Structure 1
Amino acid sequence: MSPKSVDRIFEVYEWSLSRDGFGVDDIANELGFKDLGESEKIVAKLLELQLIEPSREQDAWFVPTDPTTASSQLLNRSELDLLERKLEAAQLRDDLARLSLLFRTSKFGSQHTNSFDILKVPETIRLMISEAAANSSHEVVCMQPRSGWPAEGSPDGETLDFQVLAPGVSLRVLYQHAARFDMPTREQAAALVESGAEIRTAGALFGNIFIFDRTTAYILASSQENGAVVVQERSLVDFLLSCFEYVWATAKEFDTRRAETDVISGDMKREIVKMLISGAKDEAIARRLGVSVRTCRKHIGQVMQMFGATSRFQFGYLVREATLVEDL
């Protein structure tokens, strides 16, 4: 609507509030509108905006309504329409991304490839990761910090069916040490190991990543709202793979038959000490280690007690002076 039209609508609505009702002719006569058609258009717009309604007592007669009610109904409808359009756009974007993946892996498309694509719809991400796993012919590796997407509805290894892997395709998985104490993850890990997978754990991981046949990588965001990035540019995939191999080389084998509580607890405490010295807050340490804040604070208390520190300042001083981090 033009500013002039909006002003006319406000004028007519304000005028209607001083009356018990009105007809189209009343607008033209009392407000000086020369064109009856303009009055009819304004009435139609007021009806559309639910600022007036037909009178129940007289035909061709209208009465004003409360704008608060109109606002609630109109905005809800507009917001739903907008949300629906956003979802349709996101689905279309992901559908095109899947077609783009087919294009890039074709003979023609391999010569005209973008570096990465962004996916937003979780269902599409799960489907594409499952398809990539099923189509792998050599190797699948994945790094899954416990601070990534929650297990419910997530496209990570806790819900992704790795049974779709073809015979002969190797699977290596990196979890955080905290995964050793989570029974559902231990059961999942045991099933994977039984089928031939290698699983190791580390104190901290830096991303939720899947790499298929050393050619395609999926980087999952920390929340479903942020989606995932599909990478096929060779140098970027090689870099992500080198990051995985760096952690894998020092990670500990996940023996699902026993818990190795003491060894792993020491590794986690060592990481906590390093982060405390760097000034990290409890919440940040917990996210990095993949444990709850409550569990993290319990570990912090145990470490401080080991060193006889009564405050974090004193603890940091003792660790720095005695270089205890290396001796933990």
Structure 2
Amino acid sequence: MDDVAHRIYAYAARQSSVEEDDLRKQSGLPTTEADQAIQRLKDLHLLIPCNEARNRYVARPPAIASTTVLLPAIRELQQRQRELDEASALLAELTSLYRPEAATGEGLQNITDLTAVRQVITDLSTQCRSEVLTSQPGGARPETALKEASERTIGLLNRGVRMRTIYHHTAQFSQPTVRHVDMLTRLGAEVRTVSDAFSRLLVFDGEAAIIDLRGQRTGGVLVRDPSVIDSLVASFERAWAQAMPFPVTYNREHTVTVSDDLKLVLLRLLVEGHEDKIIAKRLGVSLRTYQRHLAEVMKRIGARNRLHAGYLVHKLRLLDRDS
């Protein structure tokens, strides 16, 4: 309702009935604009045709018009409200029956769909109150994963939630990962790196965790069992205590230390007899990068082959500093 429609309605309300031409004159506007205002009044049932004259109208009281205009909408809202009440009652009934731990009997729930895993992580992040622990193996992370994680983590840090993350040493050689860590540490996140293998893990407030689902790269396991959670947190804390701060600027001494740590772990895994693919995965590097490191290590210790390398490692006690 604009001023023109108000003016036309006020005039019509003072008359027992009024012709359409008179209403146009009262508007003081060209015919087209006047007709638009009159049509608005008709749509609201504030102007209704006179029974005895085709182009003559009677102003209708707003209270009566509102019944005609609003009643269908009110009925629709009432129907929607009934549907919402029924749905809420059904969900409440089903909630009382649902037990996440029933999925495995031990407070574990397998989630095979990646979208569902992401939604669970988002929900747990939203509900988190005090601290999130995360460990992200595999070295450099895809930029899409970093972007998704950034949005959640920024929201957590802005709410005052403590955030601690563990990466592989090799993650610090990825510029996208370095930029990601730099941004988050400026907001208060704590990030460290380790040389050896660890599992992917997210723990929220020491009450719920997400771990990898065996045999499913895109799946996860939602853990709520307190005993399992305590064990996961203890493993994280042991790794955290041995980890090194993630450097966001180049430091030659730190880089040399990291490189030496990686080579020691490589030697230990080699002597233990692990396959190349397994060692590369535990170091968080590609198979090609691992093979380059292996060649450097073999050359440094003067080993002719892997058997000779194992002999030299024991003879020279090269792993003593790693024990």
TM interval, short-chain normalised: 0.5 to 0.7
Aligned in 2, Cα 1:204/1:157: closer, same or farther, shift over 3 Å? farther
**Which one has a bigger Cα radius of gyration?**
2
Taking the TM superposition and a 5 Å limit, the aligned residue runs for 1:290-305 are 290-305=284-299
Taking the TM superposition and a 5 Å limit, the aligned residue runs for 1:121-132 are 121-132=113-124
For 1:251 and 1:299, the matched residues in 2 are separated by: 21
The reply on whether 1:211 has 2:209 as its aligned counterpart is no
Aligned in 2, Cα 1:170/1:235: closer, same or farther, shift over 3 Å? same
> Shift of residue 322 of structure 1?
2.0
Q: Which has more helix, going by share of residues?
A: 2
Letter in 2 for 1:266: D
The reply on whether 1:274 has 2:268 as its aligned counterpart is yes
Q: 2:155: which partner in 1? A: 164
Identify which of 127, 131, 151 aligns with 2:142.
151
**Paired residue secondary structure (1:174):** strand
1:23-74 Cα shifts (integer Å, max 9, x gaps): xxxxxxxxxxxxxxxxxxxxxxxxxxxxxxxxxxxxxxxxxxxxxxxxxxxx
Taking the TM superposition and a 5 Å limit, the aligned residue runs for 1:69-148 are 115-146=107-138
1:73-115 Cα shifts (integer Å, max 9, x gaps): xxxxxxxxxxxxxxxxxxxxxxx9xx9799679xxx9xxx951
Q: 2:226: which partner in 1? A: 234
The reply on whether 1:200 has 2:192 as its aligned counterpart is yes
Q: Which runs of 5+ in 2 are unaligned?
A: 1-90
Asked if the contact 1:142/1:174 (under 8 Å) is kept, the reply is: yes
The reply on whether 1:324 has 2:294 as its aligned counterpart is no
1:141-175 Cα shifts (integer Å, max 9, x gaps): 10110179x73765997566311215221000000
Q: 1:16: which partner in 2? A: none
**What is the count of residue pairs matched by the alignment?**
224
Q: Which runs of 5+ in 1 are unaligned?
A: 1-95
For 1:192 and 1:140, the matched residues in 2 are separated by: 13
1:220-268 Cα shifts (integer Å, max 9, x gaps): 2477555100001101000000000010001000121225321110110
Identify which of 277, 280, 283 aligns with 2:277.
283
Aligned in 2, Cα 1:234/1:156: closer, same or farther, shift over 3 Å? farther
* Pairwise CA RMSD: 3.0
Moved over 6 A (4+): 99-105
For 2:176 and 2:219, the matched residues in 1 are separated by: 24
**Paired residue secondary structure (2:280):** helix
Normalised by the length of structure 2, the TM-score is 0.63
What is the aligned-residue identity percentage? 32
Normalised by the length of structure 1, the TM-score is 0.62
**Paired residue secondary structure (1:171):** strand
**Paired residue secondary structure (1:214):** coil
